[in-house]
Amino acid sequence: MENLDNSAQNKASGLEKAIQTNFQKEMSYGDYLHLDKILSSQQRLSNHHDEMLFIIIHQTSELWMKLILHELHAAIQSILRNDLEPSFKMLSRVSRIQQQLIQSWNVLTTLTPADYMQFRHKLGHSSGFQSFQNRQIEFALGQKNAHTLAVYKHQDDLFESLTKSLHEPSIYDAALSALATHGLPVDEKVLNRDWSQSYEPNLSVEEAWLTVYRNTEKYWDLYELAEKLVDIGNQQQLWRFNHMSTVERIIGNKQGTGGSSGVNYLKRVLDHHFFPELLSLRTKL
């Protein structure tokens, strides 16, 4: 009877016959995505119209970051198994997600300084600097800094998770392991380094990548991996730049809500480059 009722209702409404409309015993789109939880999570602390924009931009960014981490972690494991090809799709996806995140800053620039000042005080000391997923992405890309964990000490589970991430190999560590697996000479001190430390450039790594770029047919998989990493590193820098310029546009040189120097801090972050030998080799090719 339910199917007959569904068909009769569709016919009367002009819907296609097979379209399901009875979800009393079926899982709906909203059920699958838990939209009741997601769409009820935008709780403004002020009555200002633009605070909704501010919340949604940051919440959706965190969702995209979750997917970046999902892809990066899988890619790292694939590379460490010397199974490079599956990682290419994952890393391409990361690059496309980064483009989405970069574009999100353009939406946020519609928030004017005068409007932001109407609710900024409601944020207290909360700040994007405290985004643990952004921190995990930096760790996965090789920028490690144990001092940044201090802001998570109030949450034991989170602090433990980030500490674990700090001591795990980055995507670049996995790539350097792949170089060695393919018979290219890489210093043991690089391959067996302390993964909790931020990566420092090494001449043997640059020479190994130069060999790859000078013999692309022989080392095509490594060459493809290198270019995927360059894409991600470049997109991450663009995201950082757009972040900095958006903050500058909205609050000028004010101190950040989390206590940082704001724009000046974000400008200093831009000085760090991911996967340094993949950039320096271009001068020597």
* Ligand-binding site membership of 119 (annotated): no
Collect all residues with Cβ–Cβ distance below 8 Å to 182 and sequence separation of at least 6: 219, 222
- The contacts of residue 176 (CB under 8 Å, 6+ apart) are 186, 190, 191, 205
Q: Is 97 annotated as a binding residue?
A: no
Q: How far is CA 233 from the centre of its chain?
A: 11
Was 120 annotated as part of a binding site?
yes
Is 56 assigned a ligand-binding role in the annotation?
yes
38 is in an annotated binding site: no
- Residue 83 is given by DSSP the state -
Instruction: Tell me whether residue 243 is annotated as binding.
Output: yes
Q: Answer yes or no: are the C-beta atoms of 281 and 209 closer than 8 Å.
A: yes
Cα–Cα distance measured from residue 208 to residue 221, given in angstroms and rounded to the nearest whole number: 14
Whether 54 has a binding-site annotation, put simply, is yes
DSSP classification of residue 256: P
Tell which residue, 248, 251, 235, 243, has the closest CA to residue 269.
243
Q: Which residues are annotated as part of the binding site?
A: 54-58, 116, 120, 243, 257
Q: Which residues are annotated as part of the binding site for heme?
A: 243
Q: Which residues are annotated as part of the binding site for substrate?
A: 54-58, 116, 120, 257
